[in-house]
Every structure is written in structure tokens, then in C-alpha cells.
Amino acid sequence: MAKLITMAERMKRARALIEQARTFPIPETGKGDFSYVAQVKDLLRQARDLIKFISYTPSATPEIKKDIAAIYAEADEVERDLHRA
């Protein structure tokens, strides 16, 4: 049986994945490399998947929902930066 992960741990892991995507090494061919783009987008997808349902839980406070929105905004910012080559 899978171990349950708390909301705080999910948010912590999502932020770590976003930071990993932000600092992912750019290949010599540049940001347009399909492999690079796919790997960064996969990290962002994993981060979003971790926090996707937290705001729908009854125990999610307004502060937690605000943090979730901030994490989504961070992920969107990294993805926009990815396309600004």
C-alpha cells in the first residue's frame, strides 16, 4: 500500500521540482532542444500533479490555497521562461 504524503510535504516536493526545472542544465544546442524542453516540462508536470487536488480537500485552509496558487504561478513562470529562447 502506498504511503500517504501530507499536504505540506507535497507542496515542499512541488517547489523542489520547480526549482530543479528552473536550474536544469541547458544543453549546448540551446533551449530549443526538444529533449531539454520535454524534461523541463515533465518536471513541471510532476510538480503540478503533486498539488493538483489539495485545494479541493476539506482541510485546505485559505492560506494553503493561496500557497497552491503561488506554486502554480511559479510553474507557469518557469514554463514561460522556457519558451522565451
DSSP character at residue 81:
H
Residue 82 has what pLDDT?
Answer: 85
Domain ranges of the chain: 7-23+31-83
Rounded to two decimals, the pTM is 0.89
Q: Is the pLDDT of residue 19 over 70?
A: yes
Residue 4 has what pLDDT?
Answer: 87
C-alpha distances in angstroms, 43 versus 26, 31, 52, 54, 70? 14, 15, 14, 19, 17
